[in-house]
Structure 1
């Protein structure tokens, strides 16, 4: 290499710039206070409540609420009317009455001397005796953020709002932030209200700003703006960054050698406000910080029967410390690296025993959940989960996981083509038209593009490389006694000057005819669909070693590589050996 900077300084400078606000205690406190106040304001408009219409005069309605009801001006209530009775099918005993939706009204005034509240009719022919109600069920809320918003503030606020358990939150791309346009999108998602988030700069101060609109008529009903501290370098969402140029034949901006590594993830796992690097070598998990240098701070060694196949981090339980989600196979499971089978599952054995690690200030890192029969993957702000099956490996649909009643639950089912599993796919809206498509690997490393209706519209003419890990089980078939499932590699969506593109690795084998040697290097491509075919652009070439995992953070690209036979021969002259792994870091955003 011409010149490789020390990764300690490289990554430290990068994280310092992107996490500047987090390391400023005053700024962090201001952010926390602003998020809490905005959250409580929003929740106050959706407190569960029920009352009865007492009188109607034209468009105005008087409603009686019970003493102590938590209500405020601007709230909207659904109105219900007693419907037909329903009886016991055998005894014919009256069980109760059905309810019919009669309309909607908005609380417009404070409590009068007569104990009644004034409301205005939004829609419907209402009658005295009708019931008005805000349900105890989760409220459907459409969440939008302006593109130049501070990403860290947005992530923290979104997580706090979701963590309240009061809302089912929906997101969608929008080219316009006009209330009418946002409301139309919200109605298509069956959302009741719209939230617009931004972080404007005023008088050298950064503010957190939220505005709420009703989806049915785009009327604004609440707004709050709170200072979070002095203006500084803000962190835009990764998808708002641009890959400015090709890095073909470019040396890494930084490089650092690790003892070993197969998979990695980044996030604040100890709650100190700084992102850590979490690395698994397939059995042992190592945690590194970047404060002054790349330094290993903790090691969690697995049992001899433990085999990790993926690792992710996400603060799903919203306690300020990101959980570490480890998908693992234990004794009796099959893992296969290159062409070497480590173990084979016997029929009837339990295979998947995934677990969750979390940092405890008193005890360090410990397992908070174990023996979970699901594969894990984190996509943006979401935890994805798919059930393990002894015979089919990947069983049933992929779900979005939620933190519910102190546990991780598979809740919202994703709509995916039948041959897509939890690994190796990404959602993509090529031209920001609100039409989400899916790109996925198949088991041979070919790429397939599905349109918004789930129809395959394109398949690559070549494979992007063999997957390093596969799972096998006995099928009891004479023709095919062993069935195989591959752990497909990452695909990442990034926003570029073409709207959105997919970032993909192409692995170059040492010798195509000789299995087991790994790859001599990798290339990184960006892919873009023009409506009829895929345009492929080389953005990085000649990355040495076998890339086992990678991540794109805006204009930054992180690659985790292992040595192979070729690098062993190459480095033997200098006394270096191919053991261990290397973390490469490229800045693609520089022009």
Structure 2
């Protein structure tokens, strides 16, 4: 009998342990982190019941969801307001009078520290509903799939709008400086490390003033890591199906995306012949803004970022000016710098939105490029193409050249993307032969991709000045997009390696993750038929611009429609 009891107890204990283990294993740590963050910003309201020095008491506590570290705004009721006709009492006018942080929590009341303002008993404290702007930053130690899974959980809460940042340094201080500029509510800082053979994920939440109000580390099980890497990959099955597709004019060469009007949503920007057209993205593309560049030219580069930190993005366009070029019209009221542009030269322009129209904000001869919310410049030479150093442009009363970048020899304005690893500067570079290299700040190459990229589309030739002199070629490389811990680049597959002039049969988007001295490469999108012209990332979607093989959509011929079209495919990143 005793044996049976012992065996029964042992079985119960085993079942209990296994059941607990199963529950623990099934529990989603990414949802836990996101739910924890949401709990600090759950809508709540209460009343200040007393104030003593810089400590106040409020009449809400643990039962209402109050947590230590929460910050609430304080409001004070003012004059009554009534219906202008009936005189009926409608309420009282409220004005914000300060802010407080919870320092101690009990069941029905809490103590708060006064952060700002003059707080009095009877004031209201509140966390309002709505979407809150935040930064989400993962260090380079975080596995791409892990960071992506956590990013999605925060985004899926619906409580937070994740604001893009150009921060590329694993430094909390740098992140917080950017947070102050962008007026975000808080920052998510994510790290991953291996402890005793186990992958640990650590998440910290910071207010922009540097106060860390949350820190938690959780183990990622081996099974979960496998699931993330193989079952829940960055773009699950994205290479086989697109979410949306559009036919666009055959003269569409570039696409980009950014928030031009500062409403928190990205617009789609397209370069169509010599026009810049901006669309509201949806099931259909709705034209919002239009701008003709105003001369006979060929657009060779298009970018779109907030380069002056005013909360609204600017469009940066570089063109090769053919005969008929000249001065650029000044259609703004002030602050536009205009440089004379000679025929057969290069001109760059910055456009911004004002009073519902795209206006010229800055124009200059030479090349310009927007990189991580900075504006770069390089001169043009009729003998060489690119000429001299690449400079950072500084915005004061007008745009002016600042310091020169210390780039490796032969690297020009469209060839590179800067990044940092453990407080050291590096450059990801695409050279003229198609190799992808990584250089350190001393100009030494630390890594090279074994295979070349399949080819470039934008090649320009400058004839030799004498019969005996060879012509000079210069290239405008495809864009390099830093996204979620990886660098995204285009790779094209030529119809025949030995006959590049036949064009390209398909293309793909590669994702390169730099981890120390090694680089992990993944095909983010593959087997995109035709010539992949350009791409842009829009939050949780990626749009690619494609020219059909031979430039003709055969299906349109059969339908009696214009066959000279290009395709814009949109793939989900979920």
Bin for the TM-score computed over the shorter chain:
0.5 to 0.7
What is the alpha-carbon distance in structure 1 between the residues aligned to residue 324 and residue 462 of structure 2? 8
Match of 1:367 among 360, 367, 377: 360
> Judging changes above 3 Å, is the alpha-carbon distance between structure 1 residues 249 and 209 closer, same or farther for their aligned structure 2 residues?
closer
In the alignment, which residue of structure 2 is the partner of 1:354? 348
**How far is the alpha carbon of 1:309 from its aligned partner?**
0.8
What's the secondary structure of 1:210's corresponding residue? coil
In the alignment, which residue of structure 2 is the partner of 1:443? 432
What's the secondary structure of 1:565's corresponding residue? helix
> Judging changes above 3 Å, is the alpha-carbon distance between structure 1 residues 478 and 533 closer, same or farther for their aligned structure 2 residues?
farther
**How far is the alpha carbon of 1:312 from its aligned partner?**
1.7
What is the alpha-carbon distance in structure 2 between the residues aligned to residue 509 and residue 458 of structure 1? 25
> Judging changes above 3 Å, is the alpha-carbon distance between structure 1 residues 361 and 256 closer, same or farther for their aligned structure 2 residues?
same
Would you say the 8 A contact 1:520–1:567 is kept in 2? no
What is the alpha-carbon distance in structure 1 between the residues aligned to residue 542 and residue 419 of structure 2? 19
> Judging changes above 3 Å, is the alpha-carbon distance between structure 1 residues 517 and 574 closer, same or farther for their aligned structure 2 residues?
farther
> Judging changes above 3 Å, is the alpha-carbon distance between structure 1 residues 544 and 357 closer, same or farther for their aligned structure 2 residues?
same
What is the alpha-carbon distance in structure 2 between the residues aligned to residue 251 and residue 532 of structure 1? 34
**How far is the alpha carbon of 1:544 from its aligned partner?**
2.1
**How far is the alpha carbon of 1:308 from its aligned partner?**
0.9
What is the alpha-carbon distance in structure 2 between the residues aligned to residue 320 and residue 173 of structure 1? 22
What is the alpha-carbon distance in structure 2 between the residues aligned to residue 376 and residue 571 of structure 1? 38
What is the alpha-carbon distance in structure 1 between the residues aligned to residue 458 and residue 365 of structure 2? 19
**How far is the alpha carbon of 1:575 from its aligned partner?**
4.5
5+ residue gaps, structure 2, are 1-72, 74-134, 139-150, 188-204, 214-231, 326-341
What is the alpha-carbon distance in structure 1 between the residues aligned to residue 376 and residue 181 of structure 2? 24
**How far is the alpha carbon of 1:421 from its aligned partner?**
0.9
Alignment of 1:489-568 (within 5 A): 489-495=478-484, 500-529=485-514, 534-553=519-538, 555-565=540-550, 568=553
What is the alpha-carbon distance in structure 2 between the residues aligned to residue 247 and residue 491 of structure 1? 23
What's the secondary structure of 2:454's corresponding residue? coil
What is the alpha-carbon distance in structure 1 between the residues aligned to residue 182 and residue 299 of structure 2? 40
Alignment of 1:18-33 (within 5 A): none
Would you say the 8 A contact 1:247–1:541 is kept in 2? no
What is the alpha-carbon distance in structure 1 between the residues aligned to residue 306 and residue 521 of structure 2? 35
Q: Deviation string for 1:259-311 (max 9, x for gaps)?
A: 24111221233455542211103422222113673112343334562211111
> Judging changes above 3 Å, is the alpha-carbon distance between structure 1 residues 333 and 520 closer, same or farther for their aligned structure 2 residues?
farther
Would you say the 8 A contact 1:562–1:578 is kept in 2? no
What's the secondary structure of 2:387's corresponding residue? strand
Would you say the 8 A contact 2:301–2:476 is kept in 1? no
**How far is the alpha carbon of 1:252 from its aligned partner?**
0.9
How many residues are aligned here?
369
**How far is the alpha carbon of 1:543 from its aligned partner?**
0.9
What is the alpha-carbon distance in structure 1 between the residues aligned to residue 516 and residue 168 of structure 2? 21
> Judging changes above 3 Å, is the alpha-carbon distance between structure 1 residues 246 and 145 closer, same or farther for their aligned structure 2 residues?
closer
**How far is the alpha carbon of 1:462 from its aligned partner?**
2.6
The answer to whether structure 1 residue 257 and structure 2 residue 247 are counterparts is yes
TM (norm. structure 1) is 0.54
Would you say the 8 A contact 1:427–1:493 is kept in 2? no
**How far is the alpha carbon of 1:522 from its aligned partner?**
0.6
The answer to whether structure 1 residue 295 and structure 2 residue 286 are counterparts is yes
**How far is the alpha carbon of 1:519 from its aligned partner?**
1.7
5+ residue gaps, structure 1, are 1-36, 38-143, 159-169, 202-206, 213-219, 225-241, 335-347
**How far is the alpha carbon of 1:574 from its aligned partner?**
4.7
What is the alpha-carbon distance in structure 1 between the residues aligned to residue 208 and residue 519 of structure 2? 39
In the alignment, which residue of structure 2 is the partner of 1:394? 386
**How far is the alpha carbon of 1:452 from its aligned partner?**
4.1
What's the secondary structure of 1:352's corresponding residue? strand
**How far is the alpha carbon of 1:466 from its aligned partner?**
1.8
Alignment of 1:564-579 (within 5 A): 564-565=549-550, 568-569=553-554, 572-575=557-560, 577-579=562-564
What is the alpha-carbon distance in structure 2 between the residues aligned to residue 292 and residue 208 of structure 1? 37
Would you say the 8 A contact 1:427–1:438 is kept in 2? yes
**How far is the alpha carbon of 1:516 from its aligned partner?**
4.4
**How far is the alpha carbon of 1:319 from its aligned partner?**
5.1
**How far is the alpha carbon of 1:484 from its aligned partner?**
0.7
Q: Deviation string for 1:523-576 (max 9, x for gaps)?
A: 122234566654432232111221111123465322111223175446544545
What's the secondary structure of 1:353's corresponding residue? strand
